[in-house]
A and B are shown apart, each in its own frame.
Chain A
Amino acid sequence: EPEVTQTPSHQVTQMGQEVILRCVPISNHLYFYWYRQILGQKVEFLVSFYNNEISEKSEIFDDQFSVERPDGSNFTLKIRSTKLEDSAMYFCASSESGGATKVVFGPGTRLTVL
């Protein structure tokens, strides 16, 4: 079964540094997402992306966050100036459509901000 892949699996950074989290969504999927999960808490929606632009974003997705599809396969999340509270698991996901009943999640990148 097709999978969403993410790199790196674990990223450690210093507060104030920029990080880029990378994802390869499923090839025939059209909608891409980033979600985050702070340890022990629920999964939270950050942003959805379709046709090379943001479709929807949450209040969490402020000016320090940005997303990009630099080529035909990769999808990235950039955090410009990391804060301690950005430490979380970041999941990339994709779906065939925006209204798809099934969203496929990647294995996640654990971001630790020191």
Chain B
Amino acid sequence: GQSLEQPSEVTAVEGAIVQINCTYQTSGFYGLSWYQQHDGGAPTFLSYNALDGLEETGRFSSFLSRSDSYGYLLLQELQMKDSASYFCAVRPPNQAGTALIFGKGTTLSVSS
């Protein structure tokens, strides 16, 4: 099976940098994704790591280390609008490999 662990809550101030970790126990997966979800809204895609290393998309970066079973999402120059829940997700290779399995999510609160 798959197990994804994330901190439940993180707090930070505007302009700061925050790192949200995701550790996983899974027999294999195609890649690690990150989704953002504002209260009452839909999950929206942020980033994807197929290979080990860092992927950068504007203020957001994501990192994967398969050997350490670990990934993280790095948010820089935090803004109030970044207050949301952040989910890591993997696609296990069982069956058709189309399912996204999500972690429990990390609630980020950004204050001024």
User: Number of A residues whose C-beta is below 8 Å from B?
Assistant: 24
Chain B residues, CB < 8 A from A56: 95-99
The main secondary structure of chain A at its interface with chain B is strand
Chain B residues, CB < 8 A from A107: 41-42
Pair B100/A45 contact, Cβ less than 8 Å: yes
For window 54-78 of A, CB contacts with B under 8 Å fall at 55-56, 58
Chain B residues, CB < 8 A from A55: 95-96, 98
B31, B43, B50, B97 interface centre (most CB from chain A within 10 Å): B43
Instruction: Give bound CA distance, A97 to B48, whole Å.
Output: 15
Mark A72-114 against chain B: 1 for CB-CB distance below 8 A, else 0: 0000000000000000000100000011011111111000000
| B104 within 8 Å of A (CB atoms) | yes
User: Number of B residues whose C-beta is below 8 Å from A?
Assistant: 26
Instruction: Give bound CA distance, A101 to B104, whole Å.
Output: 20
Instruction: Give bound CA distance, A98 to B39, whole Å.
Output: 27
Pair B45/A103 contact, Cβ less than 8 Å: yes
Chain B residues, CB < 8 A from A91: 42-43
Chain A residues, CB < 8 A from B41: 107-108
| B33 within 8 Å of A (CB atoms) | yes
Chain B residues, CB < 8 A from A15: none
Chain B residues, CB < 8 A from A41: 104
By beta carbon, the residue of chain A nearest B91 is: A99
A104 nearest CB across to chain B (Å): 7
| B103 within 8 Å of A (CB atoms) | yes
Q: Which of A43, A58, A99 contacts B87 (CB 8 A)?
A: A43
For window 72-96 of B, CB contacts with A under 8 Å fall at 87, 89, 91, 95-96
| B101 within 8 Å of A (CB atoms) | yes
Pair B99/A48 contact, Cβ less than 8 Å: yes
Apart from A41-B104, A43-B100, A43-B102: 7 A-B pairs, beta carbons within 8 A: A31-B98, A43-B87, A48-B96, A48-B99, A55-B95, A56-B95, A98-B97
